């Protein structure tokens, strides 16, 4: 049963979702260290996770992704784009 569910998830969600989850994890860790309210954090993540973000990751459009993240998150949140690029590489 678990193998079937895993296979279905892998077919439905491509490797770009692994990159997206890593990105969210990076941001979440830093945002939680700040003093923003729960509602402010919710809005921040909603703004960050717009529909195009998965497409940018899938296409490897790292400059556009970085620009978007800088606009939404500001300069205080650092993102390891190198790590995200490694995750998106076919050999990872």
Half-sphere exposure of 37 (CA within 13 A, CB side): 3
Q: For residue 26, what are the domain limits?
A: 15-87
- Does 1 fall in a domain? no
- Does 48 fall in a domain? yes
**What does each C-alpha distance from 33 to 6, 22, 24, 26, 36 come to in angstroms?**
33, 17, 14, 12, 9
- Does 7 fall in a domain? no
pTM for the whole structure? 0.83
| Biggest distance spanned by C-alpha atoms of the chain | 45
- Cβ neighbors of 47 (< 8 A, separation 6 or more) are 72
- Does 8 fall in a domain? no
Q: Looking at residue 91, what is its pLDDT?
A: 64
Total number of domains in the chain: 1
Please report which helix (H) or strand (E) contains residue 82, including its range: helix 81-88
Q: Which band of pLDDT confidence, cut at 50, 70 and 90, is reported for residue 45?
A: very high
């Amino acid at each position: 049963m678990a193998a079937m569910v895993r296979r279905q998830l892998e077919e439905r969600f491509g490797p770009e979702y692994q990159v997206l989850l890593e990105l969210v994890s990076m941001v979440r860790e830093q945002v939680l260290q700040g003093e923003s309210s729960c509602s402010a954090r919710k809005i921040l993540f909603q703004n960050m996770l717009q529909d195009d973000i998965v497409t940018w990751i899938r296409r490897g459009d790292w400059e556009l992704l970085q620009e978007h993240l800088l606009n939404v998150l500001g300069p205080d949140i650092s993102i390891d784009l190198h790590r995200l690029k490694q995750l998106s590489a076919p050999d990872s």
